Chain A
Amino acid sequence: AQTVTQSQPEMSVQEAETVTLSCTYDTSESDYYLFWYKQPPSRQMILVIRQEAYKQQNATENRFSVNFQKAAKSFSLKISDSQLGDAAMYFCAYRSVGTSYDKVIFGPGTSLSVIP
């Protein structure tokens, strides 16, 4: 079974600085999707960024980028120029491709604080 691990329960960053959140996963599949979701205090789950495993190029979305290392099964999220609104729980997530056992598996989350 696939598992997702986030080893940093809590992180903090100074406003305008850069922070990297770690995620590792375990799978025997060769093709899959990876996601980072943000959950602010409003508790709404918001997709931040997605990565397709067959694509070697790292995904970027404005200030958010990932470092996807397929062999190492690592998928870290870098937030540049951190803003107060980035303070939230961040969840790394995994989804299989082409399987009937379809679900999105989440890591335990990292709580990010942004210090003014």
Chain B
Amino acid sequence: DTAVSQTPKYLVTQMGNDKSIKCEQNLGHDTMYWYKQDSKKFLKIMFSYNNKELIINETVPNRFSPKSPDKAHLNLHINSLELGDSAVYFCASSRWGPTEAFFGQGTRLTVV
């Protein structure tokens, strides 16, 4: 009964490939996010969804396309992977408003 779960935990792939990371939350939250953590551990928001609607896109390359089929899921699809995409990607969710975000365990993406 993990609150926010994302799969896979690890992903190694070649440049140019397309890959997806899945995220599901069972907390009944309205808002879901994708964050990218780089090699220096800096966490930067990529996307924010509220009730399946995109509300934040932080100038992420359009090779990254989030998809929210319902409030409990927010998947991240990445086309034409580049070496610089290597990072840890975190999915998170929260209630709408001033509450904390709950994070998944992260997906370490390595592009070779």
Contact = CB atoms under 8 A, between A and B. Distances in A.
Given A43-B105, A45-B90, A105 B97 contact: no
**Interface SS of chain B: helix, strand, loop or mixed?**
strand
Interface stretch (A70-78, A79-87, A94-102): A94-102
A100 B51 CA distance: 12
Interface in A46-69: 47, 50, 52
Contact of B45 (A32, A45, A105): A105
B12 interface: no
Interface of A: 31-33, 35, 39, 42-45, 47, 50, 52, 89, 91, 95-98, 100-106, 108-109, 111
A102 B99 contact: no
Contact of A44 (B41, B99, B105): B105
Contacts of A98: 97-98
Interface of B: 31, 33, 40-45, 48, 50, 55-56, 88, 90, 92, 94, 96-103, 105-106, 108
18 contacts: A31-B98, A32-B98, A44-B105, A45-B92, A45-B106, A47-B100, A52-B98, A89-B41, A95-B98, A95-B101, A100-B55, A103-B45, A103-B48, A104-B94, A104-B100, A105-B45, A106-B43, A111-B41
Nearest to A89: B41
Contact of B98 (A42, A97, A105): A97
A90 B59 CA distance: 26
A103 B48 CA distance: 7
Contact of A45 (B31, B56, B103): B103
A18 B81 CA distance: 45
Contacts of A101: 55-56
B53 to A, nearest CB: 11
A104 B33 contact: yes
Nearest to B33: A103
A107 to B, nearest CB: 9
B16 to A, nearest CB: 27
Nearest to B43: A106
